[in-house]
Amino acid sequence: MGVLQNRVAIISGAGSGLGRAASISFAAEGADVVLLGRRASKLEETAQLVKYRTGKVPLLLQTDVSVDLQVEQAIETAYEQLGRIDILLNNAAIMEPGTVHEITSENWHNQISVNLTGPFLLSKAVLPFMRKAKYGRIINITSGLSWNGSGGYGAYSAAKAGLESLTRTLADEEHEHGILVNLYNPGTLRTEMHATGKDPAIVTPDLIRLASLPQGGPTGTILSYG
């Protein structure tokens, strides 16, 4: 029996990269997984892999995490169909280069809306169900750029810095309700955003560890690969 047996895990950005690897790993540990993403075809690919490798049939919900109504509907549907929400992995992200001098306001807002507002909306939507159960595990994916910054990636870096602050705030607000909120920095992964790096599957054991923390476990912390 896996450590996530009988848990329901919602994974954003599940259509590729770390989200896809986490979906497979969480299901292999017994979780019922809910796949969120903007591209239905990519979610279908992940769903087929989850079913092939674990035998579990995930719930697919095409969702733009930056749109309030879509997030609310997705979370309500997940709860209605599965009866509980235990884990949220805020993984969806976009990275578009551009210096502060050249980046457009539209591009800035787009990156902030997906990388920071998305996790806020999803977390806000799942909190009532987690509070009711007095149990929840929220994992937010961050990056070293949150504190180092990097020329040409101001919007992405700023969003991740904001996400880290939001994580610590949520951890402080929700620990009394049995909800643990932590950050994970996987380092450079080989995904659609990076041509080189580690296989995302290498870091999923760390995510499982955060998703299965015991009551009273660490909250408001950051765990990095390696």
Active site residues: 156
Residue range 143-197, pLDDT digits in tens: 865 556 555 578 888 999 999 999 999 999 999 999 999 999 997 777 666 666 6
Which domains can be identified in the chain, with CATH numbers?
Answer: 8-224 (3.40.50.720)
pLDDT in tens, 87-98: 999 999 998 888
String of DSSP letters for 106-163: HHHHHHHIIIIIHHHHHHHHHHHHHHHHT-EEEEEE--THHHH--TTBHHHHHHHHHH
